[in-house]
Amino acid sequence: MRKLRNIELNRLTVEEYKNTKKNPIIVVLDNIRSCNNIGSVFRTSDALLVEKIYLCGITATPPNAEIHKTALDAEKSVEWGYFEKTEYAVTELKNNGYTVFAVEQVENSISLPDFDPAKFEKIAIVFGNEVKGVHQKIINICHGSIEIPQYGTKHSFNVSVCAGIVLWDLFLKIR
Protein backbone atom coordinates (compact mmCIF):
# COMPACT_ATOMS: atom_id res chain seq x y z
CA MET A 1 0.00 0.00 0.00
CA ARG A 2 1.36 3.41 -1.03
CA LYS A 3 0.21 6.81 0.16
CA LEU A 4 -1.13 8.87 -2.76
CA ARG A 5 0.54 12.14 -3.65
CA ASN A 6 -1.59 15.29 -3.86
CA ILE A 7 -1.41 15.37 -7.67
CA GLU A 8 -2.88 11.85 -7.77
CA LEU A 9 -6.04 12.84 -5.85
CA ASN A 10 -7.76 14.51 -8.83
CA ARG A 11 -8.98 17.43 -6.73
CA LEU A 12 -11.21 20.07 -8.29
CA THR A 13 -9.83 23.48 -9.04
CA VAL A 14 -11.53 26.38 -7.23
CA GLU A 15 -13.33 27.25 -10.48
CA GLU A 16 -14.50 23.64 -10.98
CA TYR A 17 -15.64 23.53 -7.35
CA LYS A 18 -17.67 26.71 -7.75
CA ASN A 19 -19.46 25.15 -10.76
CA THR A 20 -20.16 21.82 -9.03
CA LYS A 21 -23.65 21.04 -7.70
CA LYS A 22 -23.66 21.53 -3.93
CA ASN A 23 -25.57 19.81 -1.18
CA PRO A 24 -28.56 21.90 0.00
CA ILE A 25 -26.93 22.68 3.36
CA ILE A 26 -26.00 26.08 4.73
CA VAL A 27 -23.76 26.27 7.79
CA VAL A 28 -24.35 29.13 10.24
CA LEU A 29 -21.55 29.99 12.65
CA ASP A 30 -22.98 31.82 15.68
CA ASN A 31 -20.29 34.01 17.26
CA ILE A 32 -17.31 31.66 16.85
CA ARG A 33 -14.20 33.07 18.56
CA SER A 34 -11.42 30.90 17.11
CA CYS A 35 -10.22 31.54 13.57
CA ASN A 36 -8.80 27.99 13.59
CA ASN A 37 -12.31 26.63 14.17
CA ILE A 38 -13.70 28.85 11.42
CA GLY A 39 -11.01 27.67 8.99
CA SER A 40 -11.66 24.06 9.89
CA VAL A 41 -15.38 24.46 9.17
CA PHE A 42 -14.52 25.99 5.79
CA ARG A 43 -12.31 23.02 4.98
CA THR A 44 -14.93 20.46 6.05
CA SER A 45 -17.62 22.35 4.13
CA ASP A 46 -15.47 22.30 0.99
CA ALA A 47 -14.87 18.56 1.30
CA LEU A 48 -18.59 17.83 1.69
CA LEU A 49 -19.88 20.29 -0.95
CA VAL A 50 -21.78 22.52 1.47
CA GLU A 51 -23.72 25.24 -0.34
CA LYS A 52 -22.63 28.21 1.79
CA ILE A 53 -21.41 29.37 5.20
CA TYR A 54 -22.97 32.27 7.10
CA LEU A 55 -20.52 33.95 9.49
CA CYS A 56 -22.33 35.83 12.24
CA GLY A 57 -21.54 38.31 15.00
CA ILE A 58 -17.94 38.14 16.24
CA THR A 59 -17.09 35.32 13.81
CA ALA A 60 -14.11 36.49 11.74
CA THR A 61 -14.35 36.63 7.96
CA PRO A 62 -11.88 35.99 5.13
CA PRO A 63 -9.40 37.15 4.12
CA ASN A 64 -7.74 36.30 7.41
CA ALA A 65 -4.35 34.61 7.91
CA GLU A 66 -5.57 32.62 10.93
CA ILE A 67 -8.62 31.30 9.04
CA HIS A 68 -6.40 30.47 6.07
CA LYS A 69 -4.03 28.46 8.29
CA THR A 70 -6.66 25.72 8.76
CA ALA A 71 -8.90 26.39 5.76
CA LEU A 72 -6.00 25.91 3.30
CA ASP A 73 -7.79 27.95 0.60
CA ALA A 74 -11.25 26.48 1.29
CA GLU A 75 -12.21 30.03 2.24
CA LYS A 76 -11.75 30.81 -1.46
CA SER A 77 -13.87 27.92 -2.75
CA VAL A 78 -16.82 27.85 -0.33
CA GLU A 79 -19.27 30.70 -0.76
CA TRP A 80 -19.87 32.69 2.41
CA GLY A 81 -21.76 35.69 3.74
CA TYR A 82 -21.60 37.80 6.88
CA PHE A 83 -24.44 38.87 9.19
CA GLU A 84 -24.01 41.26 12.10
CA LYS A 85 -26.57 39.25 14.09
CA THR A 86 -27.24 35.53 13.85
CA GLU A 87 -30.99 36.13 14.03
CA TYR A 88 -30.76 38.07 10.75
CA ALA A 89 -29.18 35.04 9.08
CA VAL A 90 -31.78 32.63 10.49
CA THR A 91 -34.64 34.91 9.43
CA GLU A 92 -33.25 35.19 5.90
CA LEU A 93 -32.83 31.42 5.68
CA LYS A 94 -36.38 30.77 6.86
CA ASN A 95 -37.72 33.37 4.39
CA ASN A 96 -35.85 31.50 1.62
CA GLY A 97 -37.39 28.13 2.45
CA TYR A 98 -34.65 26.60 4.61
CA THR A 99 -35.49 24.51 7.63
CA VAL A 100 -33.10 25.68 10.35
CA PHE A 101 -31.72 23.47 13.12
CA ALA A 102 -29.45 24.45 15.98
CA VAL A 103 -26.90 21.86 17.06
CA GLU A 104 -27.38 22.06 20.79
CA GLN A 105 -28.42 20.13 23.87
CA VAL A 106 -32.02 21.20 24.45
CA GLU A 107 -35.29 19.68 25.55
CA ASN A 108 -36.84 17.56 22.80
CA SER A 109 -33.76 17.69 20.57
CA ILE A 110 -33.47 15.15 17.77
CA SER A 111 -30.63 12.68 18.25
CA LEU A 112 -28.31 12.91 15.23
CA PRO A 113 -28.66 9.19 14.36
CA ASP A 114 -32.45 9.70 14.21
CA PHE A 115 -32.34 12.89 12.16
CA ASP A 116 -33.69 12.42 8.62
CA PRO A 117 -32.60 15.25 6.31
CA ALA A 118 -34.55 13.66 3.42
CA LYS A 119 -37.71 15.19 4.93
CA PHE A 120 -36.41 18.65 4.10
CA GLU A 121 -35.55 20.22 0.76
CA LYS A 122 -33.04 22.73 2.13
CA ILE A 123 -31.37 22.68 5.55
CA ALA A 124 -29.41 25.21 7.58
CA ILE A 125 -27.40 24.08 10.59
CA VAL A 126 -26.41 26.55 13.34
CA PHE A 127 -23.21 25.86 15.29
CA GLY A 128 -22.60 27.90 18.43
CA ASN A 129 -19.90 29.71 20.33
CA GLU A 130 -17.10 27.64 21.87
CA VAL A 131 -18.14 28.55 25.44
CA LYS A 132 -21.84 29.40 25.35
CA GLY A 133 -23.03 27.25 22.46
CA VAL A 134 -25.97 28.42 20.37
CA HIS A 135 -27.62 31.37 22.10
CA GLN A 136 -31.13 30.72 23.46
CA LYS A 137 -32.66 33.51 21.37
CA ILE A 138 -31.38 31.70 18.26
CA ILE A 139 -32.67 28.34 19.46
CA ASN A 140 -36.06 29.99 19.96
CA ILE A 141 -36.33 30.94 16.27
CA CYS A 142 -34.99 27.67 14.83
CA HIS A 143 -37.35 24.94 13.63
CA GLY A 144 -35.66 22.42 15.92
CA SER A 145 -32.42 21.18 17.42
CA ILE A 146 -30.10 18.29 16.67
CA GLU A 147 -27.97 16.72 19.41
CA ILE A 148 -24.93 14.48 19.01
CA PRO A 149 -25.12 11.63 21.53
CA GLN A 150 -22.19 11.64 23.96
CA TYR A 151 -21.26 8.94 26.45
CA GLY A 152 -18.18 10.16 28.35
CA THR A 153 -17.60 12.67 31.12
CA LYS A 154 -17.57 15.76 28.87
CA HIS A 155 -20.73 17.44 27.70
CA SER A 156 -19.57 19.00 24.45
CA PHE A 157 -17.39 18.67 21.37
CA ASN A 158 -15.11 21.34 19.94
CA VAL A 159 -17.24 23.31 17.46
CA SER A 160 -15.16 22.28 14.44
CA VAL A 161 -15.33 18.61 15.50
CA CYS A 162 -19.08 18.98 16.04
CA ALA A 163 -19.46 20.47 12.55
CA GLY A 164 -17.43 17.61 11.06
CA ILE A 165 -19.60 14.98 12.74
CA VAL A 166 -22.92 16.59 11.81
CA LEU A 167 -21.97 17.54 8.25
CA TRP A 168 -20.55 14.08 7.50
CA ASP A 169 -23.71 12.45 8.84
CA LEU A 170 -25.93 14.74 6.73
CA PHE A 171 -23.72 14.20 3.67
CA LEU A 172 -24.09 10.41 3.97
CA LYS A 173 -27.85 10.61 4.48
CA ILE A 174 -28.40 13.07 1.61
CA ARG A 175 -26.18 11.23 -0.86
H/E/C letters for each residue in 137-167? HHHHHCCEEEECCCCCCCCCCCHHHHHHHHH
Residue 2 lies in a domain: no
pLDDT of residue 118: 86
Residue 60 lies in a domain: yes
Residue 5 lies in a domain: no
CATH of the domain at 35: 3.40.1280.10
| Beta bridge partner(s), residue 110 | 146
Residue 1 lies in a domain: no
- Residues of the chain scoring pLDDT < 70: none
> How many domains is the chain partitioned into structurally?
1
Q: What is the pLDDT of residues 100-151, one digit of tens each?
A: 999 999 999 999 999 999 889 999 999 999 999 999 999 999 999 999 999 9
- Cα separation of 174 and 152, whole Å? 29
Residue 89 lies in a domain: yes
Residue 4 lies in a domain: no
pLDDT of residue 46: 98
Query: Can you give the residue range of the structural domain that contains 105?
Result: 12-174
